[in-house]
Amino acid sequence: MTAPPDLTPLATAAPPAKAATRAAYGEALLELGASNPDVVVLDADLSGSTKTKAFGKAHPERFFNIGVAEANMIGVAAGLAAQGKVAFASSFAMFATGKAFEQIRQSVCVPELDVKICATHAGLTVGEDGKSHQMLEDVTLMRVLPHMSVIVPADAVEAHQAVLAAAEIAGPVYVRLSRASTPVVFAESYRFQFGKAALLREGRDLAIVAMGVTVAAAMGAAELLAADGVQARVINMSTVSPLDEAAIAAAAHDCGAILTAEEHQQSGGLGDAVAQAVVKHHPVPMDMIGMDGAFGQSGTGDELLAYYGLDAAGIARRAKALLDRKATASTGV
Amino acid sequence: MALTTQRRDEIAEAARQVRIDTVRMVHAATCGHPGGPLGMADFMATLFMEHLRLDASNRHAPDRDRFVLGNGHTCAGYYSLLAQKGLIERDELLTFRKFGSPLQGHPHRNLDLGIDFSTGSLGNSLSVSVGMALAAKLNGWDSRIYSASSDGESQEGQIWEAATAAAHHGATNLTVLVDFNNVQIDGHMRDVMDVRDLRVKYDAFGWHAVDVDGHDIDAIDAALVAAREETSAPSALILHTKIGQGVSFMHDQPGWHGVAPNDEQARDALLELGVAEADVAAMIG
Ligand SMILES: Cc1ncc(C[n+]2csc(CCOP(=O)(O)OP(=O)(O)O)c2C)c(N)n1
């Protein structure tokens, strides 16, 4: 294991600000387009929604709209990357990973190419479109692929930096982005570090490890818990693969209980990744919050997050139950 | 047999109801897809009112016809027709896209409501329709499978895998109705990804394929009759439509693929669709 993590919580944003991570993606792409002539962008008839349109306007010769044909888009991206381009490919998370999984495996990950899949409209917060569009299995699909790096930014500040980083990371990268405007967690001074967990709040009663939109909810849960005298450590695990196992081992050691929270199926996602690290390094009581084997449904993003227990109140509830288990485990009752 | 004047008028009235309901539903939901259903209203109404053997009395009959909405985002119009055929309560239409409603943002299979299949991801449904057609034949049912698709959906490779399989395995009891409005999300097809001549393509794949004016109810009806009588190949109706048909400010505008009208726009649209001013006021508030 490496050096103990710095336990100074990072500066966080003033609460009311909201922004969409997909908007940050569009802006970062424009910067990359200006700074790196090898960056090319592909889309599948969703360039207004995924925010690649601005890049297409600025660099029409380096922008390819493939139409409603996601598997073909990934194949074409692989060909461009095989010839030295850094290919950003976008669609909704459902279609970018679901329609094109096999092409991502065979044509992108096996040859370890510079294809950066930046997929928007992930998770429940896509809202009213319903279950056909609410991708809740993409992190599972992507994190099990050898050579694929997986990043799930917590907010627009981190998304912007993660997209810039993706261009530098060698090989395939998956960046998971949201449609909805979600709370801004980080101050502008935040610096995303690929492969490193970010500590947002220190505490020793339990650790809440979250990714994406549930990071803000985890911070809210920590507030609720603090009002009851419970101090929760909150960790933003934006790099899901490769996982910062040292941060997990330290959290298990220091807090004695770990709760994960994700806008994703419990199976195969962040919870599973963290559980593997906990089992390997320092077994402690654990619980996982995510979709419990259900598909989503139509509704507003906030309604759905609350219904499926992914808001601050839901996370705090499960944290309390986990604390009971931790107490039982330590007293042996 | 050609449609009587009275029957044609009834179908036209059902199509107008589809357009009115679509505007109201998408307006009430404050999100959704108005353009497609407005353009599809004439051929969907002809199919549902004159051809598709599905109503409240036979919804659970195994040998009835089936309908699959491949371009699932256009479901507001589909739900309107299911309501017009007594399968969905009219009151329920305005719960469209809301939490807890059976009228999901994209269709979710619900045989009580006559919704035969879950759709929303483009490209999947023609394969499913082929399977349904083959099963109907295996079971000896005299039922037809109708599958809606679109020019945008025709960009998915799986459509052409399904088209190949349908002809090869003799799914002659299958009719696909392709909404060819020359529009997809990012713009007109010529600017995004040109699919060219879909009739020629389906023809080359071994289908009985015809171009049809998608706003001419008599022509649509005749094409559906011919498709049913064609026993040697699956049938493809390439229906040439305009997105937003019936509401002039949405007409041929890609921007109306997936945006809800605001109060003022909904009011204008309903007035143009012939709803009385007092009724419009009650509808929009
Ligand atoms: C596999 C898949 N990719 C992308 C989408 C998002 N999407 C929904 S509708 C649409 C455009 C489809 O074109 P068309 O059906 O011709 O649209 P319309 O004529 O109704 O505007 C797209 C890309 C989807 N639903 N499924």
Is A90 within 8 Å of A26 (Cβ atoms)? Answer: no
pLDDT per residue, tens digit, chain A (333 aa), is 445 556 677 777 665 689 999 999 999 999 999 999 999 999 999 999 999 999 999 999 999 999 999 999 999 999 999 999 999 999 999 999 999 999 999 999 999 999 999 999 999 999 999 999 999 999 999 999 999 999 999 999 999 999 999 999 999 999 999 999 999 999 999 999 999 999 999 999 999 999 999 999 999 999 999 999 999 999 999 999 999 999 999 999 999 999 999 999 999 999 999 999 999 999 999 999 999 989 999 999 999 999 999 999 999 999 999 999 999 988 765
Residues facing residue A182 across a β-bridge: A19
Place of tokens 């107490």: A327
Cβ-Cβ pairs closer than 8 A, A with B, add up to 92
CA B105/CA A294 separation, integer angstroms:
17
Contact A48 B184 (CB under 8 A): no
Q: Is the CB of B152 under 6 A from ligand 1?
A: yes
Beta-carbon contacts of residue A221 (< 8 Å; ≥ 6 apart): A208, A232, A261, A312, A313, A314, A315, A316, A319
The rounded Å distance from CA B255 to ligand 1 centre is: 13
For residue B224, pLDDT beyond 90: yes
**In a mutagenesis test of the A interface, which of B127, B149, B192 is the best target, namely the one with the most A β-carbons within 10 Å?**
B192
Nearest partner of A9 among A187, A194, A167, judged by Cα: A187
Contact B184 A67 (CB under 8 A): yes
Is A2 within 8 Å of A246 (Cβ atoms)? Answer: yes
For B106, the token pair is 């994209």
Contact A68 B156 (CB under 8 A): yes
**A56 interfacial to chain B (CB closer than 8 Å):** no
Structural domains of chain A in order of their starting residue, each with its CATH number: 18-183 (3.40.50.970), 198-331 (3.40.50.920)
How would you label A284-316 residue by residue, b for 16+ Cβ within 10 Å and e otherwise?
Answer: bbbbbbbbeeeebbbbbbebbbbbbbbbbebbb
3-state secondary structure B146-185: EEEEECCHHHCHHHHHHHHHHHHCCCCCEEEEEEECCEEC
Q: Is the CB of B153 under 6 A from ligand 1?
A: yes
Q: How many CB atoms lie within 10 A of CB A191?
A: 11
Nearest partner of B176 among B126, B114, B142, B225, judged by Cα: B126
Write down the domain spans for chain B: 5-284
Contact B123 A99 (CB under 8 A): yes
Nearest by CB to residue B98, choosing from A68, A69, A299, is A299
Q: What mean pLDDT value characterizes chain B?
A: 98
Is A220 within 8 Å of A311 (Cβ atoms)? Answer: yes
Q: What is the DSSP letter of B48?
A: I
Distance from CA of A194 to the nearest CA of B (A): 32
Supply the pTM of this predicted model: 0.96
For A261, the token pair is 């929270």
The rounded Å distance from CA A274 to ligand 1 centre is: 36
CA A72/CA A62 separation, integer angstroms:
17
Q: DSSP per residue over A58-87, as a string?
A: H-GGGEEE--S-HHHHHHHHHHHHHTT-EE
**A43 interfacial to chain B (CB closer than 8 Å):** yes
Beta-carbon contacts of residue B56 (< 8 Å; ≥ 6 apart): B85, B86, B87
CA torsion A29→A30→A32→A34, rounded to 10°? 160
Nearest partner of B162 among B220, B135, B189, B123, judged by Cα: B123
For A277, the token pair is 């690290």
Is the bond preceding A5 in cis, omega lying within 30 degrees of 0?
no
pLDDT of residue A1: 41
Strand order in the sheet with A258-265: A198-201, A232-236, A206-210, A258-265, A286-291
Farthest-apart Cα atoms in chain A, separation: 68
CA A1/CA A175 separation, integer angstroms:
27
Is B69 within 8 Å of B75 (Cβ atoms)? Answer: yes
Please compute, for residue A313, the number of CA atoms within 13 A of its CA located in the half-sphere on the CB side. Answer: 6
Q: What is the CATH number of domain B5-284?
A: 3.40.50.970
Strand order in the sheet with B66-69: B66-69, B145-150, B174-180, B235-240, B208-213
Give pLDDT tens digits for B123-170: 999 999 999 999 999 999 999 999 999 999 999 999 999 999 999 999
Q: Is residue A138 exposed (0-12), middle (13-18) or buried (19+ Cβ within 10 Å)?
A: buried
pLDDT of residue A14: 63
Helices A156-168 and A21-35: crossing angle, nearest 10°? 40
Is B241 within 8 Å of B39 (Cβ atoms)? Answer: yes
Q: By percentage, how much of chain B surpasses pLDDT 90?
A: 99
pLDDT of residue A13: 66
CA A248/CA A232 separation, integer angstroms:
14
Q: By percentage, how much of chain B surpasses pLDDT 70?
A: 100
pLDDT of residue B1: 78
Q: Is A313 helix (H, G, I), strand (E, B) or coil?
A: helix
Is A117 within 8 Å of A97 (Cβ atoms)? Answer: yes
Give pLDDT tens digits for B250-266: 999 999 999 999 999 99
CA A157/CA A154 separation, integer angstroms:
8
